[in-house]
Structure 1
Amino acid sequence: MSAERYTLAVIVASTREGRFAPVVTEWFTRHISAAHPHLTVDVIDLDAVRPYELRHGSAEFIAYAKRVEQADAFVVITPEYNHSFPAPLKHAIDLLRAEWQAKPVGFVSYGGISGGLRAVEQLRLVFAELHATTVRETVSFALTGGPFDDQGQLRDPEPPARAADALLNQLAWWALALREARTARPYGN
């Protein structure tokens, strides 16, 4: 796949105390550094962004909007809570509109027996409404206590690495194609 540089925003969706998201995020960003070093990665941790506290026009709101706008593609790292995704993620998405448009979105999910895939299916609907393109390939971890050891390392790293590469390769194609299209002609809806 192309080694052309683009900016990937990794959105960490969980804000719960004791969350597992940092373990998954650390693994994913480490994998990107090792296997896809041409990517510029911006980790947008919603626990630090605090979407419910953002007020339109504030410096924090503008900074968040700029980070989303500057991204060529997104990977959302999300748990599954009660067959869905976290409420702070929905709020963070809903704060913006044009910044998401005509950009690809991929997912790394975790939780329970479904590995977070029910949350991903709902997120596909949300991003479609925002005119973003979701990619088919995903990375999911069922029963997170199984794949990861106590030090946050994968017991069998090969299958998730293959899934991550497939996801990142699809994102690269869409990110570059859509960036070129947005440059040639502004996206309109």
Structure 2
Amino acid sequence: MALRGPKVWLWRWRRNPLKRRSDRVECWVLLGAWVLTALVGVLAGLTVSRAVEGELARERVEWRRVEARLTEPVPGSSPTRSGAANTERVWAEVRWSAPDGSDRTGQARVRPGSPAGTPVTVWTDRRGRLVTEPTTPSEARVRANLIGTLAGVDAAAVPLVGERLLRGRLERRRLAQWDADWARFDALRRRRQTG
């Protein structure tokens, strides 16, 4: 078990006759890494969050609701025949008109048992391709904040990893210096004992 004294705040910055140059370098590396970690994490998180929220806002503006029609009957029991509100959906082929006037087909989620020609609401992008329903502003904010937080944490890890690698090199160098100093001290001690 290592002997430990009372915990001293900011011990790396206090004067000490045994403090070496590598100890001072380590102080500055540690301080710089923490400042850089905070800055990089916050800036990356905010940048990514704003970019994601802007992209989701652009989707809300550009994507449009289109009425499509089922191209064939959908297997399954019809919700109107069963008498209960059925929230189950199945994939089926639908047809709609793109902004350029061409007919498009694709897969959309519809109620089981729907007959061919049943109108279905789908969302398309500017080119008329099927897309998911755009997020609401509050959903977009939550999604952007989550993605921004993850990006900020990932970006903040880079300076921390660099700091750990650099401190590891400093520690190895410091131990090598201690070994050299102890070897010199041991040689002096032996000379005094023999002489």
Q: TM-score range by the shorter chain?
A: under 0.3
Answer with 1 or 2: which has the greater Rg: 2
Which structure ranks higher in relative contact order (CA pairs < 8 Å, sequence separation ≥ 6)?
A: 2
Give the number of the structure whose residues are more often helix, by fraction: 2
What TM-score does the superposition give when structure 1 sets the normalisation length?
Answer: 0.27
